[in-house]
Structure 1
Amino acid sequence: MKQLSALDAMFAYTETANTPMHIGQLLIYDPSTAPGGHVGFKDILRYIEGRLDGARIFRQKLVRVPLDLDHPYWVEDKDFDIEFHVRHIALPKPGDWRQLCIQAARIYARPLDMTKPLWEFTVIEGLDNVEGVPKGSFALVHKMHHAAIDGKSGLEMTLALHDTDAEMKPRDFGRNWQAEDEPNALGLLAKAQFNNVANPVRGLQNIQKLVPMPKRLLDVRREFAQRADAKTSIPKTRFNKKLSPHRVFDGREFALSDIKTIREAFPGATVNDVMIAVTSGSLRGYLLSKDDLPEQTLKIGAPVSVRSDDEKSSAGNQVTMMTVGVGTHLADAGDRLKFIMDETQRSKAMTEAIGAKTLMEVSGAMPAGLTAAGTKMMVRMGLVERFNPAINTVVSNVPGPMVPMYFAGAEMVKGFGMGILAEGQGIFHVVTSYNGKVILSFLADREQLPDPDNYAKAISRSFADLMAAAKKESAKQKKKKAKTKKATAKKSAAKKPKKRVRTSAATAGRAGRKAATR
């Protein structure tokens, strides 16, 4: 039995019918690589069953403390049934990308059963007309509760279910699963009384880490003041309203080589900066088309992992949030990327000054009962609509494997991340990578984004604009280098002493003088 951290517990407290707190993926597989060229549903069940020891989340369920007076606990579920967690459907005709996105969004919109281990897989067959996908392929919609897992540990869980070849060799994860009995209510309440005194003390100890030296305190204070000013000016858009229970989903993929071309054209840029710029252009283009683009820049939240090497095998959330302005007020794609580069550097400096790990630890200072009550009140009273948003959207970057991966012998051909919506944040972007591709996908509230295909087209246009800006910037850099090189050569030539030119008459005269002295 293990207790949730304050951050993990928050995701359990905010779970409602309109705000299911799971993250996930849409993964597409080609079964022709499997033994016999076919993968049946029973094959998938057996395959997953053989990998259950790969992550603790598979068999652990949540046990709440009475009245939420303390954070919940994970308990090994003695009634675990794999067939409850793995479902099976087929796409309606024509089995194209649009139908797949609709089905994936419907499945994803349904909350998980909070009395069972918090994950669910849905196998979708009938992908017969999806561009770039072999006919007869199948998809997997993967849902995992955010209370149990963050993007990085979720990726590790996904990797536990995959191989680097189609041979499906048995794997030993070094775990021996044992079921547990649920703790009784009196025992949980006794622990709650102790924890609600101890946790604030630990929180105060963590707060002391924020101010080890006067200069750092001054820098951090200045940064917080800037953020407070910025927060009051963060504009509202159509994506910052109360949520409905309905979702839409789509995404686009790009060659990693093209992303690197853009990055190299703007010295100092990262792949993450480039993908944030693609997102910024998408938001700008779509909101312009709806006559809803604010004059001020939108701001995004970018999760930052603070998971150490020693914590790689642990589940739960080890993240803090970096806030970044994305330059949606700028018309030029290149100018937006430069703006984002400055913003990410500023926000990284802030996170490093305080210590990202410390920021996360301080969240545990408040007693669990107050955390639960406050979180629920924010959600139920719709307070998000009365105040300016803290951010306009999230862009989560979760790098994936750059080699082919296999599930039950079937090769994964495409992979898309699926995020999490909170009240006041009606669209979520996930950047991931796989086998030479970089993928940008989005999950949104259907009432706030009724035309997901148009937003997907805005992503494609934004990427094209960035490619054009990169070519323009590269040409400008080459011209500048050539001009500098020419000026340097000219300057060098001017500094060299001129050689004396000896005429034939002068040479003859010198020779005559030498002869006369002999």
Structure 2
Amino acid sequence: MDHPAAEYMHQGRNTHMDRLTATDATHVLAESGSHVSRIIDGYVFDPAGATVDRDIVLEWLTPRVEHSPVFRSVIRRVPGDLEYPYWAPATDFDLRDHVTVEPARAPGWPAVRDRIVEICDTRLPAGKPPWELLVVTGVTGVDRFPDGACVVVLKMHHAVGDGMATVEFARELFAAQPLPARPGHRSVGTGGALARAVVRIPGNLFRFARGSFRAQVLSRVAARAAASGEIRAPQFRWPTTRFNRRHGGGISFDVVTLDLAEIRSLRSRHPGVAVTDVVVAVIGDAMVSYLREHGEVPNGSLGGKVSYSLRGSTAPAADQDTVVSGNNFVVLTVDLHTDVEDPVDRLRAIHASMASEKRRFSNPAVAELADALDTAPAVYVDWLVWRRSKLPIGEGETVALGNTMVSNVPRRAEDMRFLGGRVVESFGILGVADGTRLNHFVASVGDRLTITFAVDPEVMPDPDRYAEALGRAFASVVDAHRDGGEGARAAAEEDLGVVEEA
């Protein structure tokens, strides 16, 4: 299968080195202190009685890791960060360093969940290909899993790619039949990388100056478009909650399973409503419900940061030394309209906010402005990361961008296999950090949709209550639209334009 996630490692190569883009490199340069930059994808497989042990798993995976160089490559930094990090072949690659296979510690989901938590905030070893796989076998006592299920967790560095990229790499690992092997990267020594970085300094400075000037022009063009009403200027400030202060360290998570058939039925009654619209409405309702239960009423509507993939909408970078970015998305700043009481009206308002943000990023000036970072030198990005770490977080009455992150990544997982077993559920775990101590990852397989919330345990010592709030919010949205009648349907058809399911 040809797709950007697999191809980005190969496009734009030359005889010298495969540099990360600025966007991808940021996830390497920003990893310091308590911040761990990673993406975690989880899949539940029914092994159908197959024997599962480490040797069998390693034998099954060996031909599959040959397909993409990312499984056999390392990320190396240039001394002094005079240039962005680059990909190089791993000289001592050993699959056993990346795969852990172990039985479930006890029956039930909590034992599996607690084991996964242990790998959430551990750093991937430097100098090794930036991924690892945890296989928990013989899982029992979970109502929604078949007895003896395998829970397989793929952890990758965020520099490798975004959620869409990680899913595509998972599809390579869990392909029913191994895909053809691809060539790896050329070997580049530290001295060669440093010499090339020094030679490129004048050109990089020129590109940065040109890019900065272009960004100023684009900012003025985008401002004029907003002033004329062509696009809507987003709201960037939202009321500060307990979820938007400094990260206290640690992470916990849980998975709430919803009936995707119910959402599809809702969409059939209200054309134009997207799955993400419904999920965002559920999350906003649950957050406010949880905060109110703890005596905290937000001073106004909450806002969400919703990832929106641009995969397939942008061309490869013109710079021949730069590979196509594995992180190809923007963050929509969406009003969750938690101050709107009626669930039907709230969903319509959320849809309008989502559609408005998508139109904003479809504006050529805004779209090009989103890529402005790609012209910045690595040392400048280093400075930006350091400067951001010194900014006050959650000390005022408002917080920038949004109160939580929501990522909805289509899985297309039904054809995935692990040792011949089919996938029955999928989930993902976003990280938590300063300013975003509660985040949500949405995935689906068949008629089962999961919302995985990751949270700083310091601000949510009772995650079961939040899981219950998500369930109640989903029931409220579904019931309200089921009872909305023809009036709600007519309003939806009039006010909700048809958008892609995302």
The answer to whether TM tops 0.5 is yes
**Secondary structure in 2 aligned to 1:152?**
helix
Letter matched to residue 35 of structure 2:
T
Q: Conserved in 2, the CA contact under 8 Å of 1:404 and 1:435? A: no
Residue 427 of structure 2 is matched in structure 1 by 416
1:178, 1:366 → 2: CA distance? Answer: 25
Q: Conserved in 1, the CA contact under 8 Å of 2:41 and 2:166? A: no
Q: Conserved in 1, the CA contact under 8 Å of 2:44 and 2:425? A: yes
Aligned residue among 151, 154, 157 for 2:163: 151
1:20 partnered with 2:36: yes
Residue 498 of structure 1 is matched in structure 2 by none
Relative to structure 1, is the Cα distance of residues 409 and 356 closer, same or farther in structure 2, using a 3 angstrom cutoff?
farther
Aligned residue among 384, 387, 412 for 2:393: 384
Q: Conserved in 2, the CA contact under 8 Å of 1:63 and 1:182? A: no
Shift in Å, 1:178: 5.8
Residue 137 of structure 1 is matched in structure 2 by 149
Residue 479 of structure 2 is matched in structure 1 by 468
Aligned residue among 326, 332, 335 for 1:316: 326
1:196 partnered with 2:190: no
Structure 1 or 2, whichever has the larger Rg, is: 1
Aligned residue among 87, 105, 118 for 1:106: 118
1:340, 1:76 → 2: CA distance? Answer: 46
Shift in Å, 1:425: 0.6
Aligned residue among 269, 273, 278 for 1:274: 278
Residue 335 of structure 1 is matched in structure 2 by 345
Q: Percent identity?
A: 27
**Secondary structure in 2 aligned to 1:431?**
strand
- The structure carrying a bigger helix percent of its residues is 1
Q: Conserved in 1, the CA contact under 8 Å of 2:413 and 2:423? A: no
Residue 510 of structure 1 is matched in structure 2 by none
Residue 180 of structure 1 is matched in structure 2 by 187
**Secondary structure in 1 aligned to 2:363?**
helix
Residue 252 of structure 2 is matched in structure 1 by 248
Relative to structure 1, is the Cα distance of residues 478 and 396 closer, same or farther in structure 2, using a 3 angstrom cutoff?
closer
1:89 partnered with 2:102: yes
Q: Name structure 1 gaps, 5 residues minimum.
A: 482-518
1:243, 1:470 → 2: CA distance? Answer: 37
Residue 400 of structure 1 is matched in structure 2 by 411
Residue 362 of structure 2 is matched in structure 1 by 352
**Alignment map for 1:157-306 (pairs within 5 Å):** 157-163=169-175, 168-173=176-181, 175-177=182-184, 180-184=187-191, 186-191=194-199, 193-201=201-209, 203-204=211-212, 207=215, 210=218, 218-221=224-227, 227=233, 230-232=235-237, 234-306=238-310
**Secondary structure in 2 aligned to 1:316?**
coil
1:112, 1:258 → 2: CA distance? Answer: 39
**Secondary structure in 1 aligned to 2:341?**
coil
| CA deviation map 1:413-449 (0-9, x unaligned) | 1110111323211111111221232221111112122
Shift in Å, 1:53: 2.9
Aligned residue among 42, 60, 80 for 2:73: 60
2:289, 2:230 → 1: CA distance? Answer: 31
Letter matched to residue 80 of structure 1:
F
Relative to structure 1, is the Cα distance of residues 78 and 202 closer, same or farther in structure 2, using a 3 angstrom cutoff?
farther
Q: Conserved in 1, the CA contact under 8 Å of 2:219 and 2:365? A: no
Shift in Å, 1:399: 0.8
Shift in Å, 1:363: 1.6
**Secondary structure in 1 aligned to 2:66?**
helix
1:363, 1:382 → 2: CA distance? Answer: 20
Shift in Å, 1:197: 1.1
Relative to structure 1, is the Cα distance of residues 123 and 147 closer, same or farther in structure 2, using a 3 angstrom cutoff?
same
Shift in Å, 1:84: 1.1
Aligned residue among 136, 148, 152 for 1:124: 136
Relative to structure 1, is the Cα distance of residues 129 and 119 closer, same or farther in structure 2, using a 3 angstrom cutoff?
same
| CA deviation map 1:147-170 (0-9, x unaligned) | 11111111111111223xxxx534
Shift in Å, 1:462: 0.8
**Secondary structure in 1 aligned to 2:266?**
helix
Judge which range, 257-266 or 57-66, deviates more: 257-266
Residue 326 of structure 1 is matched in structure 2 by 336
| TM-score, structure 1 normalization | 0.83
Residue 509 of structure 1 is matched in structure 2 by none
1:4, 1:79 → 2: CA distance? Answer: 22
2:324, 2:61 → 1: CA distance? Answer: 20
Shift in Å, 1:62: 1.2
Shift in Å, 1:196: 3.2
Judge which range, 49-58 or 19-28, deviates more: 49-58
Shift in Å, 1:477: 4.5
| CA deviation map 1:298-352 (0-9, x unaligned) | 11111122222776x9662111111100012223322221220111121112111
Judge which range, 381-390 or 319-328, deviates more: 381-390
**Secondary structure in 1 aligned to 2:443?**
strand
Residue 430 of structure 1 is matched in structure 2 by 441
Shift in Å, 1:474: 2.9
Letter matched to residue 305 of structure 1:
S
Relative to structure 1, is the Cα distance of residues 14 and 177 closer, same or farther in structure 2, using a 3 angstrom cutoff?
closer
1:87, 1:308 → 2: CA distance? Answer: 34
Shift in Å, 1:295: 2.6
Relative to structure 1, is the Cα distance of residues 241 and 191 closer, same or farther in structure 2, using a 3 angstrom cutoff?
farther
Q: Conserved in 1, the CA contact under 8 Å of 2:140 and 2:146? A: yes
**Secondary structure in 2 aligned to 1:143?**
strand
Letter matched to residue 443 of structure 1:
A
Q: Name structure 2 gaps, 5 residues minimum.
A: 1-16, 317-322, 493-502
1:99, 1:376 → 2: CA distance? Answer: 38
2:449, 2:167 → 1: CA distance? Answer: 15
Letter matched to residue 231 of structure 1:
F
Judge which range, 425-434 or 301-310, deviates more: 301-310
| CA deviation map 1:444-501 (0-9, x unaligned) | 11212222222111111111001111112135447999xxxxxxxxxxxxxxxxxxxx
Q: Conserved in 1, the CA contact under 8 Å of 2:343 and 2:477? A: yes
1:479, 1:221 → 2: CA distance? Answer: 31
Q: Conserved in 1, the CA contact under 8 Å of 2:239 and 2:302? A: yes
